[in-house]
Chain A
Amino acid sequence: MKKIINFLLTPWHKWQAKRAFAKRLKELRERDPFIYK
């Protein structure tokens, strides 16, 4: 049952991971320590 639920939720997990990565990248860019971009 758990496996079926996980399988069904795969796109959701993928989307979540993608969103987290984009958020992290945005944070990194905002805290960009480089003087000259």
Chain B
Amino acid sequence: MISWGISANSHDAALAVFADEKLVFASHSERYSGVKNDRDLCKGIVADAKRFGNPGRIYWYEKPFKKTLRQLFAGQGWRRRDNDIEIYMARYEIDAPITYVDHHHSHAAVGYYTSGFDDACVLVIDAIGEFETMTIWQGKGTKLKKLWSRSYPHSVGLFYSAMTQRIGLKPNEDEYITMGMAAYGAHRDYLHSMMNDFIKDSEEFKFKRNLHRGCQDWRPDLTITDSFEIAASTQLMYEILFRNALDKAKSLSNSKNLVLMGGCALNCLANRFTGSYFDKTWIYPNPGDAGSAIGAVLAEHPEWRDYTDWSNNFLGYDMGMRTSNKDIVTYLEENKICGVARGKAEFGPRALGNRSLLADPRGNNIKDQVNAIKQRQEFRPFAPAILEELVHDYFDMPDGWDNSRYMQVVASCRYPELFPAIVHRDSTSRVQTVPNDGSPFRQLLEMWYARTGCPMLLNTSLNIKGKPMVNNHADARNFERHYGVKVFN
């Protein structure tokens, strides 16, 4: 039987397909519609999913009635019809029985059941589920048990989003820019003010005001020039709350393994602290709401975890492979920059080698050259992809992190002067370690190392500014035409 897991009708819609017990496809709707963080499914993704057959059952990542109640409680009106998933699915001519799973249960399930742990503490932090904003679970065998939760309006995720909006960025989307800006500010300037104005109890994660409507009125004396300071204070405030959350998780669970999930798990700067509390950490490569498309299915069928290989995250549209690694490396040596779009697309926010813009990380002007293509803010660095066994020669990995295969944590670079393009102002990099798994990207990196003696490449997502990542051949051709950069398939 074909089962679909869906996360949609909120932000960053995604769809996962299980054929019998095995996961065969998962992708973001944005890759097909061309609308970044698309909130709805689109015809393209539904058609691609239907290649495997029509769904016999749909697993929805949250409980719509509870969400409607929360929206009413929040003052957003009675949105029962907006949250009617049968009507929603009828738009795409899908008529199948629907099973609803709690929002945080979906998060916890995809994290725990893909972790490979048989015993773990699961910490979920996001903006809002139906009501819950932070939960702690105990995973044992195939069972997940909720130990603790904090509910709306107290939300660490909403605090971060509200601050993102306060500094003029888009909430629910640009939080990663806030994190990048943090390295440029002096931490303590506004931390005290934030503590006083927002935090009621930092150990119980209670806030003095509801930040669901943002905090645009907070400190009107601060202008756009103070943005970096606000970002730095916000990041530090988040790290304080995050460490308290880790403390709480540790006190409630006797497990040595941590599974971290929810949108806040994308904060790779704060993630470096997990090793101080737990021996091992697992974060699913797509820890936000999109990943819950898989979680909704696994929450109902934990035993299905054994039928899928979770060692990589290439689950999307398959573009096939035409060019040899030798041609790509030769081109890179001569031209320094090229795109790679081949194989199955990554299911997650990071390009991990199948939809990547690659460049030689050495030299002072490579960052400007890549930025001329990507047109990102100048203060944001790019990420390196390095052979996993050599990561410790070039980076000091944080405690408890031997590798970072999905760019989930920052590490200090030992030679920032040699690789300025991939190092942030604080000498850290959001490093991707590429394991020896025989994948095409691993082989490419090995060949690059053999030819140049440099074991890493600059790796950033292959997308036109303001658009989602390249998904198919047409997108790749568009990218080539738009920027005049060669994209290899």
Contacts and interface: CB of A to CB of B under 8 A. Distances in A.
Contacts of A25: 77
B162 A37 contact: no
A28 B75 CA distance: 12
A35 B10 contact: no
B158 A35 contact: yes
Q: Is the interface of B mostly helix, strand, loop or mixed?
A: loop
Interface string B143-172: 000000000000000100110010000011
Contacts of A34: 74, 76, 212-213
A32 B172 contact: no
Contacts of A29: 77
B11 A35 contact: no
Interface residues of B, number: 18
A34 B172 CA distance: 11
A35 B211 CA distance: 8
B170 to A, nearest CB: 10
Nearest to B171: A35
Contacts, number: 32
Interface in B41-79: 74, 76-77
B127 interface: yes
B174 to A, nearest CB: 12
A36 B214 contact: no
A34 B165 CA distance: 11
- The 7 lowest CB-CB distance pairs between A and B, nearest first, are A35-B171, A36-B127, A33-B213, A35-B161, A36-B128, A35-B214, A34-B212
B74 A35 contact: no
Interface of A: 25, 28-29, 32-37
A25 B183 CA distance: 42
A9 B467 CA distance: 51
Contact of B161 (A28, A33, A36): A36
A37 B214 CA distance: 12
A35 B76 contact: no
Interface of B: 10-11, 39, 74, 76-77, 127-128, 158, 161-162, 165, 171-172, 211-214
27 contacts: A28-B77, A29-B77, A32-B76, A33-B213, A33-B214, A34-B74, A34-B76, A35-B158, A35-B161, A35-B162, A35-B165, A35-B171, A35-B172, A35-B211, A35-B213, A35-B214, A36-B127, A36-B128, A36-B158, A36-B161, A36-B171, A36-B172, A36-B212, A37-B10, A37-B11, A37-B39, A37-B76
Contacts of A37: 10-11, 39, 76
Q: Which of B76, B158, B214 has the most CB of A within 10 A?
A: B76
A32 B74 CA distance: 12
A10 B74 CA distance: 36
A12 B177 CA distance: 52
Contacts of B165: 35
A34 B39 CA distance: 15
Contacts of B213: 33-35
A36 B161 CA distance: 9
B422 to A, nearest CB: 32
Given A35-B213, A37-B76, 8 more contacts: A33-B213, A34-B74, A35-B127, A35-B211, A35-B212, A36-B127, A36-B171, A37-B11
Contacts of A36: 127-128, 158, 161, 171-172, 212
B125 to A, nearest CB: 14
Contacts of B74: 34
A1 B171 CA distance: 58
